[in-house]
Structures are given as C-alpha cells and as structure tokens.
Structure 1
Amino acid sequence: MLATLSLLPLPLASCGAAATGDNAQGERPFTIEEMGQFEEPWAMDFDEPTGALLVTEKAGTMRLRLADGRMGRVTGLPKVDYGGQGGLGDVIFAPGQSGPTLDGREIYFSWAEAGKGDTRGAAVGRATLSCPEETACTLDDLKVIWRQSLKVTGRGHFSHRLAFSPDGQFLFVSSGERQKFTPAQDLTNNLGSIVRLLPDGSPAPGNPWADKGAPTNQIWSFGHRNVLGLAFDPQGRLWDLEHGPAGGDELNLVKPGRNYGWPLVSNGDHYDGRPIPRHDTRPDLAAPAISWNPVIAPGDFIFYTGEAFPAWRGQALIAAMVDPGIVRVRIDGDIDVDKGFEEARYSFDKRIREIEQAPDGTIWLLEDGKQRNSGKLLKLSPVTK
C-alpha cells in the first residue's frame, strides 16, 4: 500500500517558535508505505547490519520483521503485568554487533512486572537471540539487570525507555514516578529519574551519587514525571521527552545531577485544575528546551542523522498521539543554553506511538492500536522530483 501524505497543519501551541518550513510551504516531503500490522505495538529497533526489525506488542509478545519483509516471532519472554500503561515496553539491540543474521544478537528490553500484593514496577532484561530459523527466534540466557524500586500500586508512568550512550559504554533507563508525584524528589528510590548503568545493569562509576547505596547510586538525573523518549543528539548529548500533566509536555537536555522539577514545577497544571508553579519561578531547577500547552502526548523521538531527508539532519522528530502525527523540532544554542523551536507538524489519521530511523535513512513509524493488526508499521520515504 503506497500513499502520499496529505499535510494538514496541526494546531501549534508551544514554548518555542511558530511553525515554518514544510507545513508553511504546503509541500509533501514524504510518501507512506505500509510495511506490517501489529497488535498494540509499543516499541521497535533496527538491527543495523541486517536491516531486521524487532517490535514489542504491549500484551507481552515480540515480533520480528526481516529486511525482505518476512515476519516472525520471538519466544521466551517473561510474563508481563499487562494493563493500563503497563506491559511489554522498549527493545534495543546491544551496540557494536555484526553478522549476517539475528542469531546470537544480544538485546535489551523492558516490561512491567508484578510485585507483592497489588504492586508492580518496571524491569529491564538482557538476553541473546537464538534463531534456528530466520523467522523463529527465542531468548536465551535472560537476566533481569534492573528494576524500579520501589514497586507501588497503580498501572501508570512506568516510562522504561532505553538508550545506549554513543560509545556503547553506558545504558540509560527512564524510570517514571508511577503517578505518585513525590518520589521524583526523593533520591532514596529510583522512581521519577533517569538512571545510568553499565551494560550488566550495575550502577555506572562516576554517577552523581556513586558513593551512596543502591538505588541512589544509579541515578543520573531526577525530578522527572513520565519519560517516554530517550535519545542522544549528534553531539552525543542525552535528551528526554516527557509527558506533562494537563499541559506541559517537555523536551529536556539531560545533565548529570540536575533536578527537572516534577512535581514542584511544570508548564502544565493538575488534571483537576489546580495550578502548578511554572518553571520560570524556580531558576534553580532545570527548565525544558521546549514545552507544549496543549500537550502533544509524545510517544518516542529520534534525532535524525540520515541522508534521505538532508534538511532534517540534527533535528528532533517526535511521535505525537494527540493530534496524531510527527512534530519536528530544531535545537539552537550552545553547551549552556539550548532551546527547541518547532519547525513543522505532519498530520496522520492515527496516534503515532513510535518512530525510528532505518539504516537507509528512511523513517519508520508505529501506529497505536489495540485491536489485532490495527497498529500499522509505516515507512516514510522522500518524495522524488
């Protein structure tokens, strides 16, 4: 199925510049091709050497798509605590791997797991793919390398996004505050934080509180709400994409030891209308590079580095679930002050949960969808002139 996107501008409301570029010109910068169908997909990642793709489905299954379009499954996953925002989460390939097939590839993935009583929390595992057939893989030597601490009640704000540093030495995990607010300001737990680990899951040396006990020694930054995007920019700096409450979604440059303010400040308010002090009232707390009010409800994001869309290189491409589509953001500034400016939005019919860059520089999306085969895998290619 090949279709050209109709670029319908989305409403613009953000702490940044007004939209310019493609939407302002009314151009059609890409075509859309359907590449697969999934049930409630949540995350995906490409294996660079082969072009194969792993896709997680929230209820607890993992699918694979080979570069030639053949589909398969990955078995041997742990039991997930499915419900609300919980279930199978992110998946990434360990960096620096090579070889002509997926057999022997090491992967990392996250999920919500049940605890005692009516509690649950996110976990991260590491495993090796064993693929006796190209389209049939299982997980060998699965080890849980990290857990949210503490497990609490509720089924929201797990976050559990994963990202390796560009040098492959450190694994970063986003840990949501589980809709409990105050744990995000409490360094005796790892909720509401971004943690930095070694690939085996142990706390990384040089963390801001490395001399403290676990889990404080894992923490890289804190004061976060629900981080559903983690990505490194072309300069090697870590950014997060975070859901606000009623307003105040934000993109942050993440620096070690910084407090990002939740729930003390936000550019949004509580759902019942009670106000929250704004970021500018607390200059001692880290403020976002850009925030949105009304929200965009971000899924994931990337910094684009490919050749297919040269005008977008270095910019953030954000999957949006409210007014579904892609939000494109330019980052301006220096090492001390970096601001985001919204360049364009591209409208889609369904919520966009995930976005990734393929090895060839094309852009792939996952639609949100709970019914069988309702979450489509879409490939965006540049319009040829």
Structure 2
Amino acid sequence: MSIAVLALTGGLLTGLSPSVAVPAEPSAHQVTAPAVDRAARAPRLKVRAVARGLANPWDVQQAPGGRLLVSERDRARISVVRNGERRTLADLSRLVWVSGETGLMSMAVDARTRTVWACHGSSRGGDHVQVSRWRVDAKWKRLSRHRTILTGLPSTSGRHGGCRLLLDRASDALLVGTGDAAVGTNPRDLDSLGGKVLRVHRRTGEPMADNPFAGASTDRRFVWTYGHRNVQGLAQRGDGSLWSVEQGSYRDDEVNLLVPGGDYGWNPVPGYDESVPMTDQALPGEQQDAKWSSGDPTLATSGAAWVRGKQWGRLDGTLAVAALKASRVLFLEFDDAGDLVSVTQPKQLTTHGRLRSVTSARNGDLLLTTDNGDRDQVLRVSPR
C-alpha cells in the first residue's frame, strides 16, 4: 500500500507502516482522535523535480505564466524557475544577514500587483530579522522599489529566527510567524516581536486596526498571537481560519488554530529551559492547546498548505505539513470544529530527505522544497 495512515487512539499511534516513527510516550497534551483507516480512498502520488541544483531552498511561491519563485537561505538568492530552467531574479547577499537558521527565508507573492515580500536576516542597526517588499517588472526579471515593511524581529546567533509569511485572503493583512530567538522571555513579552504571529498591513507595514492590542503605543500593537517557540508554517483554511505550525523542543511539534490574542503557552524561563511543556497550562490566564502535536520525539515540522481539489480524494481538505527531521509530509485531517480526525503519510514523500516548505499551486498540485544543503530540489506533487 502506498499510503500509511496514522490514527491516534488513547494517546498512542496505531495503524502505522514499519517506516513511520512512533513516539515512545505521549505528552500530557497530545491530541487524540478515533482510529479511522481511509487509505483506500487516498490517491497514489506523482512526484517530479521541477528545479535542481539548489542549496537550502526555504520557500517556493507561484508567479504568473508558469513561473515559480524560490528563495535560498544561505545564498540569499531569489530565483525564477520556468520549464525546468532556473535564473536569478535577485542576489540579495548584500542585504541579507546569514547565520545558522537565519538568512533569506519565507516569501509571499501577489501576482496581480507583481509584489514580492520576503522575510530575512539583517545586520543594519544590529542583527535582527525583518520583512522587505519589492515590485517586480512585467517580465519577472528584476526587483525594484525596495521597502522595509517590518523590522526588529529579535535574533541572536540566528537560532529560532522563524520566519513564515502569509497573505490573508480576507483583508490587506500580511501575517508574520516569528521565532523566539532562543531567549526565554520573548514569547510571553507582548512588547517583543519574537515568538509571535504578527499582523501588519501588507503595503504600509502598519499594525492592522483590528489587531487585539492595536491601541497600544508599543510593539504589542503588531501582535496577533503569542507564546510561540518557533513558527515555521502559516496556512489559511477555506473557511478563512488561520493555522500555524510550530517546532517543539525535544517534544511536541504543534499545529495550532490561531485565536486573536491567544496565548500558546511557551514560557522557557528562567534562562532558556526547554524541559517545560510546549503549552504550559500552569501559566496565568488561558492557554490554547494544540490541535495536533507530535509527542516525543519531534519531527521538526515546517511549512504547511491546505490541500484542495477533488482529484486528491480523501486528502482533499487536509493540511499538508512538511517535516525536516522525519523527512516526510503529514496530511492532517481536521473536522469543521478543528478537531483532528486522522493523519496520513504517503510513502512516496519519504525518500527525498528533509522537506522544508509546502505551497498549494493554482491547479491544486503541491510544491515542496527539500532542505538537505546540497543538490536540493523543488518537487511538484500531484495525484495520479
């Protein structure tokens, strides 16, 4: 059988193929769901490389005319890929600070206005992470009119730099998922931009007027949610709801349904104590439990996209989540209330090494980037 299905029952993972890693012990807040074997209705997958010779491609986004934009973290380069050919759209090495996990990271693309946003490290005024915006010419050969949209996202060594971007379909908002920079106080400090999901106007960089703390005079006016460790994925469901993918410590990677003003419970203090729960319900106030968590060990979950199209069979409407350490894609099925139903892991997506980003193409195909550091690829995945 080409599809392996995880079903979570009583806190244990069952129904797995031999190639799927099983957490040794569930965490206190691991999400459970009834055992449902729906593999027979899941399609076989066709996987083909549409770009090769890349190094640590962090993101892939679709542009007009069959073009794909690809960002490479350490090379600080944005490429255009078309018909299997790659050309450089922009060498940003003079702008981008590269250190550890931080460099040129996520992008967002508005094809209608030929606008590109990118999240990247910067050394201007001290090492940090920022969001930049450019316009692209009609032939997608040159960037111009650079503008800094948001700056001052904390970073130290480059660890836990985030940083995922998402254009909200329902408004002019740009969402920015950030990491905690491995500083224990950042996630719950509302005036730190680290360990947050931020929400800004995509053109001006100003906080959205309906943000939970929009009336503040400090940086908390940008905050949509807080208490995160390292947000690596953002995705918007068909119903408009916003979801994040967060990397855990030694346990509990998380998928979260974002609630405006919500606290997601990461508080590794004093110091940077990674033995604390990812969602610590002992903290003051209300903490939002994850809709899915990996348990122990982590899979190093990363980018995510909602799957759409009847051609996907039972995978239609699932959330596809890439995993770096586990080298696979998880298709998470949630019901209308946001509760987990099942997890499917296709074997065809377990042979490409570390997988960083997942994007839904206009025709419903999935675009993946590998992140093995050498001879990386962009993969296009479609049902047979």
Q: Same fold (TM over 0.5)?
A: yes
Structure-to-structure mapping, 1:56-67, within 5 angstroms: 56-59=71-74, 60-66=76-82
Q: Does 1:114 align with 2:117?
A: no
| Alignment deviations for residues 31-76 of structure 1 (CA, whole Å, 9 cap, x no partner) | 21121111110001112x423110000120111112x333221125
Unaligned runs of 5+ in 1: 98-103
Relative to the length of structure 2, the TM-score reads 0.84
Structure 1 residue 28: deviation in Å? 6.4
Rounded Cα–Cα distance in structure 1 between residues aligned with 2:218 and 2:357? 32
Aligned to 2:218: 214
Q: Does 1:203 align with 2:207?
A: yes
Relative to structure 1, is the Cα distance of residues 380 and 248 closer, same or farther in structure 2, using a 3 angstrom cutoff?
same
Q: Does 1:290 align with 2:299?
A: no
Q: How high is the sequence identity, in percent, across the aligned residues?
A: 23
Structure-to-structure mapping, 1:321-340, within 5 angstroms: 321-334=324-337, 338-340=338-340
Q: Aligned to 1:163, what secondary structure does the other structure show?
A: strand
Rounded Cα–Cα distance in structure 1 between residues aligned with 2:377 and 2:263? 37
Aligned to 2:307: 304
Q: Aligned to 1:11, what secondary structure does the other structure show?
A: coil
Aligned to 1:100: none
Relative to structure 1, is the Cα distance of residues 341 and 358 closer, same or farther in structure 2, using a 3 angstrom cutoff?
same
Aligned to 1:254: 258
Structure-to-structure mapping, 1:76-155, within 5 angstroms: 77=92, 79-94=95-110, 97=112, 105-116=114-125, 119-130=126-137, 134=139, 137-149=141-153, 151-155=154-158
Relative to the length of structure 1, the TM-score reads 0.84
Aligned to 1:101: none
Rounded Cα–Cα distance in structure 1 between residues aligned with 2:192 and 2:276? 27
Rounded Cα–Cα distance in structure 2 between residues aligned with 1:215 and 1:264? 21
Q: Aligned to 1:153, what secondary structure does the other structure show?
A: coil
Relative to structure 1, is the Cα distance of residues 275 and 160 closer, same or farther in structure 2, using a 3 angstrom cutoff?
closer
Structure-to-structure mapping, 1:227-266, within 5 angstroms: 227-263=231-267
- Is the CA contact (8 Å cut-off) linking 1:41 and 1:369 kept in structure 2? no
Structure 1 residue 89: deviation in Å? 0.6
Which range is displaced more, 178-187 or 355-364? 355-364
Q: Does 1:313 align with 2:320?
A: no
Q: Does 1:72 align with 2:87?
A: yes
Which range is displaced more, 341-350 or 173-182? 341-350
- Is the CA contact (8 Å cut-off) linking 1:44 and 1:92 kept in structure 2? no
One-letter amino acid of the structure 1 residue matched with residue 45 of structure 2: F
Q: Does 1:174 align with 2:183?
A: no
Rounded Cα–Cα distance in structure 1 between residues aligned with 2:355 and 2:294? 17
Aligned-CA RMSD value: 2.6
One-letter amino acid of the structure 1 residue matched with residue 21 of structure 2: P
One-letter amino acid of the structure 1 residue matched with residue 174 of structure 2: L
Aligned to 1:183: 186
Relative to structure 1, is the Cα distance of residues 217 and 278 closer, same or farther in structure 2, using a 3 angstrom cutoff?
closer
Relative to structure 1, is the Cα distance of residues 18 and 30 closer, same or farther in structure 2, using a 3 angstrom cutoff?
farther
Which range is displaced more, 295-304 or 283-292? 283-292
Rounded Cα–Cα distance in structure 1 between residues aligned with 2:135 and 2:360? 23
Number of residue pairs the alignment of both structures matches: 354
- Is the CA contact (8 Å cut-off) linking 1:146 and 1:201 kept in structure 2? yes
| Alignment deviations for residues 59-102 of structure 1 (CA, whole Å, 9 cap, x no partner) | 20111112x3332211253521112101101111126x1xxxxx
Q: Aligned to 2:298, what secondary structure does the other structure show?
A: coil
Unaligned runs of 5+ in 2: 5-16, 24-29
Rounded Cα–Cα distance in structure 2 between residues aligned with 1:308 and 1:202? 40
Structure 1 residue 167: deviation in Å? 2.5
- Is the CA contact (8 Å cut-off) linking 1:307 and 1:361 kept in structure 2? no
One-letter amino acid of the structure 1 residue matched with residue 339 of structure 2: K
